[in-house]
Amino acid sequence: MDKIEHIGIAVKDIEKSNALFKKLFGEAHYKVETVESEGVKTSFFKTGPNKIELLQATNKHSPIAKFIEKKGEGIHHIAFAVNDIVSEIERLKKEGFTVLNEVPKTGADNKLVAFLHPKTTHGVLIELCQEINK
């Protein structure tokens, strides 16, 4: 894993959260995107070399809707950049981690993504991200 790619934060209202984080960081989000397959609307902020992804459910069956119902708003996941997501998935499976997506899927911000089950990472949902070649 190369670096923390972003930290994902589950929110109920992305517009209100965009306003709050704009005040916090002193500048607006740089991208808003909907990922239909995940039932989520995302908004990305940069703060120095770091990125924050706000996530709002677009339907009641979305993983984000379920997360907020269970735990409330807050940190949802930590994403790490990887160069070869397929190899990293295989390595982590061999190390005993439960991978939720054995085949990477298309996520937000031009990334292929896969997640590790929080039961095998001390309660933290870990996302692996690889830039999709253009």
pLDDT digits (tens, 9 = 90+) for 82-132: 999 999 999 999 999 999 988 999 988 889 999 999 999 999 999 999 999
Which of 110, 116, 45, 48 is closest to 80 using CA atoms?
A: 116
What per-residue confidence (pLDDT) applies to 68? 96
User: According to the 3-state scheme, what is the secondary structure of 35-74?
Assistant: EHHHCEEEEEEEECCEEEEEEEECCCCCHHHHHHHHHCCE
- b/e for 109-123, b at 16 or more Cβ within 10 A? bebbbbbbeeeeeee
Q: How high is the pLDDT of residue 109?
A: 87
